[in-house]
Amino acid sequence: MDEPKSDTAYFAVSVIGKDRPGIVAGAAEVLYRLGCNIEDSSCTMLAGEFAMILIVTHEKPFSKAHLVEEFVAYSKGMELSVFVRGLKRDEVEYHSPQGELCVITVYGADRPGIVYRVTRELADRSINITDLNTKLIGTSAAPVYILVIEAELTEGTSSEDVERLLHTIKEELAVEITVRIVTPVAL
């Protein structure tokens, strides 16, 4: 994303609802009709629900109320919840990671506390989570939980440090935890 412009309005649009074809196309149509630009987005299916968050822009003057109003018919017709939040210019500036990026993978029998224990340990060490995904696989008799975290390591912290940091959790929860550095590729 380019440097934010002062003559531009910025919004975060969140859409949540029962998964079905057409959710993304419908939201994109509303934004296209309004002349909005989708600057950044993330969409995923969680169990039977679909969740999408979009960072959108429009030249000023343009109001949050107008954006919300235009989403009313779309959200009712698709039985979706749509939330819009106005953003300040400095909230949409891209910030390059200051530390190395790593991927932490947790794999094991499903049980409460996996996400909490791992993320709390990272937060307590000021390790910023930049992406997190979970998935429940296996059978109802033997569910397997997968947690994948992308995190920005603090200066002086290595992947080995993070593995040592999570070793107690690994033992207590009887899960496998791996940590690997992500090497960025310039395009």
pLDDT of 110 over the 80 cut:
yes
Give me the mean pLDDT over the 140-160 stretch: 93
Q: What are phi and psi of 41, to 5 degrees?
A: -160, 160
Q: How far apart are CA 79 and CA 101, in angstroms?
A: 38
Average pLDDT, the chain: 91
Give the per-residue pLDDT at 5.
63
Give the per-residue pLDDT at 9.
95
Give the per-residue pLDDT at 91.
86
14-62 tens-digit pLDDT: 999 999 999 999 999 999 999 999 999 999 998 899 999 999 999 999 9
Give the per-residue pLDDT at 186.
61
pLDDT of 6 over the 90 cut:
no
pLDDT of 2 over the 60 cut:
no
Q: How far apart are CA 113 and CA 125, in angstroms?
A: 18
Q: How far apart are CA 186 and CA 4, in angstroms?
A: 22
Residue 1 buriedness (CB in 10 A; 0-12 / 13-18 / 19+): exposed
Question: What is the percentage of the chain residues whose pLDDT exceeds 90?
Answer: 80
**pTM of the prediction?**
0.79
Residue 128 buriedness (CB in 10 A; 0-12 / 13-18 / 19+): middle
Domains, the chain, in order of start with CATH, read: 8-91 (3.30.70.260), 101-182 (3.30.70.260)
Give the per-residue pLDDT at 185.
63
Phi-psi region of 47 (alpha: psi -120 to 50; beta: other; left: phi over 0): left
| Lowest-confidence segment of 65-69, 94-98, 163-167 by average pLDDT | 94-98
